[in-house]
Amino acid sequence: MKTTKILIAVILSTLFCSSLFGQRSNKNAMYKVWVRTVENEKVHGYLGAVGESTIVVLNLTRHKKRTLSLEEIKTIKFRRKGKVTKGIVYGAFSGLALGGGVGFASGDDPPPAYFSLSAGQKATILGVLAVIPGAIIGGGLSSNKTKILIDGDLERLRTDLIPYVVSDIHPGNQASN
């Protein structure tokens, strides 16, 4: 009876784990950006702002900002900062819960066996062993980048990129028009 209560608690906590972050806003989200220009130059940094005809890419390690004209941009790839880490953590917890659930569901071994384990011991062993594959799968699934082909088309930029832009990340780094 006690093991079923624990199993139900583990399953419910993994099902509702993503709802813990349901109230967060994307207002202060930072996006890592990989920009390829028409001249095949690569610019990497964080998306700072989007103006009428320019975007600002911030390089926080070098404390520089780069303003690019939309006519020079060929493609933009971006992903939210911390997305891969969050995927690894969620994958690890899911692997732990799945391994623990399988261990509890397998039940106790019969006592006369030479090497017998209880359901709790199986749940612990399988849960710990499933953490690494869960983390690898979670990190792999969350590592994708969103790619937008701009090619100097201002209308495509406005429809595809602007929903992801947060211009108040660094208030002093607004794009000039």
Give the CATH number for residue 84: 2.30.30.100
Is the pLDDT confidence value at 12 over 70?
Answer: no
Angstrom CA distances, 167 to 11, 58, 154, stand at 39, 12, 18
State how many domains the chain has.
Answer: 1
Let me know if residue 75 belongs to a domain. Answer: yes
Residue 175 is classified by DSSP as P
For residue 78, the enclosing domain spans 30-164
How many CA atoms lie less than 13 Å away from 101 in the CB half-sphere? Answer: 14
Using DSSP bridges, classify how beta strands 73-80 and 64-69 pair: parallel, antiparallel or unpaired: unpaired
Model confidence pLDDT, tens digit, residues 74-110? 888 888 778 889 999 999 999 999 999 998 888 888 8
Q: Is residue 6 part of a domain?
A: no
Interatomic CA distance for residues 171 and 14, integer angstroms: 38
Q: Is residue 158 part of a domain?
A: yes
Give pLDDT tens digits for 19-71.
Answer: 555 545 445 567 788 888 888 888 888 887 777 777 888 877 777 888 888 78
**Cα(56)–Cα(67) distance, rounded to whole angstroms?**
5
DSSP lists the bridge partners of residue 49 as 56
